[in-house]
Structure 1
Amino acid sequence: MPPRPRGATQAPRLSLQPPQNVAVIMEPHLLDGDNREGEHYERLALDGQELAGITLQECVLEGVSMNDTELRGARFIECAFEDLFAPVLRASRSSWRETFLHSTRWGSAELYDSRFDRVHLDGGKLDYVNLRSSRVTDVLLTGCIIGELDLTGAKATRVALRDCTVGTLTLDGAQLADVDLRTSSFRSINGLDGLRGATVDEYQLQVLAPYLAERMGLRIEG
């Protein structure tokens, strides 16, 4: 393998594998603080339940609704989500590790003070994703439509947004390293100083140029 060019943006380090030999659970009774492993939940409604501190490891969740479910401090390890539905997702201080999410539909996702490690979010529509003060490492987003992605005060390392459409990207106080924004579009970006450590393509740079010039107090005259 040829050496990586000096200064090239590092891609997220992902090697996700789907959970194997999971047991289908028809009517699970999940409680806050539970530790469940190797289970498959399908077409399950967990709306409004108190599941703070729950741990799911090597589990598959397919067509599960978590609207207004209390998931504060929850841990998802080596899990796979398909069609996760939550107009209101309450998962502050949660942990997501080596997990794949496909076709996610979130309204307001309260994920502040959380940790995302080796996570792939593929497709889906998310209105507001609050990752304030979170640690996001080796995360890939592909083909997502996001109304607002709030990374205020977050630490993001080896994160890539590919073919995503984002309304507002908020980066006030963010610390970015190897964050790849190429191929994605943004209507507006708040906290331009937080872009340090990000990679953009030539078209994105042209779009950003007037805002960067204004930030630096440059006058542009033809």
Structure 2
Amino acid sequence: MVRSGGRSGGGIAAARRPEVRLPPLTDFEGGGLEADGDYDGVRFGSVDLADESGRGARFMDCALEGCALDRTELSRARFIDSVLTGVRGVGTDLSSASLRDVEVVDARLGGVQLHGAVLERVLVRGGKIDYLNLREARLKDVVFEGCVLAEPDFGGAQLTRVEFRDCVLKRVDFSAVRMESVDLRSVAELDIARGVERLAGAVISPAQLMELAPAFAAQIGVRVEA
């Protein structure tokens, strides 16, 4: 189920959030992931998937709970109507993956490769993700809520109806990004390393405008002196 979208404050189009309702699940029996595998209604409970390869696999109505995803190969995988809770790992490869109607809760990840991925109706709530690579990705109806993103890279990505709520964005890279109805107003800490000139299509708060004023001035060649 999907919560219907509407308008957030200021007339910006609000993101449509996923509302995943999982059916009764079957526990994963082990044996490792399979490339192009088909996982339907499966619960992966505290499974060590480090160095496994599920390239091109499909996960539908699945729950991944407390799984280790160090260097797990999931490029071109598809996650549909699924919940990932407390997953952890470094170097997880989700390049060109597809996530639709997915919730990611309290993840602790580093160096996640999501370049070229497609995210639609995705909620990322809580947790901390370092060096998230979303270059050239397409995000539509995505909400980042109460999480810490350290040095995320959105270079060349397309963001449509994306909300950052009570998040910390450290050294974010918005180079060559395209934005439409992106809500940054409730970001707890907004630190833009590159791409401040690409904020057209976003809405920020008056306080954020004051903080970003020197960067905006530098972009148009204005010197500010006392």
TM-score, structure 2 normalization: 0.92
Deviation at 1:66, TM superposition (A): 1.0
- In structure 1, distance between residues paired with 2:31 and 2:124: 25
- In structure 2, distance between residues paired with 1:186 and 1:99: 25
- In structure 2, distance between residues paired with 1:141 and 1:5: 15
* 1:10 maps to which of 9, 13, 24: 13
Deviation at 1:4, TM superposition (A): 5.2
Deviation at 1:6, TM superposition (A): 10
Match of 1:68 in 2: 71
- In structure 1, distance between residues paired with 2:8 and 2:215: 30
Match of 1:209 in 2: 213
Deviation at 1:136, TM superposition (A): 0.4
Structure 1 pair 85–4 and aligned structure 2 pair: CA distance change class (3 A): closer
Deviations 1:19-55 (A, max 9, x none): 1222223435421100110111101001001211011
* 1:197 maps to which of 188, 201, 213: 201
1:155 aligns with 2:173: no
- In structure 1, distance between residues paired with 2:175 and 2:159: 13
CA-based RMSD of the aligned residues comes to: 1.7
1:82 aligns with 2:85: yes
Q: Which runs of 5+ in 2 are unaligned?
A: 1-5
Q: State the percentage of identical aligned residues.
A: 30
**4+ runs of 1 displaced by more than 6 Å?**
none
Structure 1 pair 56–4 and aligned structure 2 pair: CA distance change class (3 A): closer
1:105 aligns with 2:108: yes
User: Greater shift after overlay, 191-200 or 9-18?
Assistant: 9-18
User: Greater shift after overlay, 109-118 or 12-21?
Assistant: 12-21
- In structure 2, distance between residues paired with 1:19 and 1:5: 28
Match of 2:3 in 1: none
Structure 1 pair 4–145 and aligned structure 2 pair: CA distance change class (3 A): closer
Deviations 1:137-172 (A, max 9, x none): 000011111111211110000000001111111111
- How does 1:117-132 map onto structure 2 within 5 Å? 117-132=120-135
2:223 partner letter: R
Q: Which runs of 5+ in 1 are unaligned?
A: none
- In structure 2, distance between residues paired with 1:188 and 1:153: 15
- In structure 2, distance between residues paired with 1:165 and 1:6: 21
1:127 partner letter: D
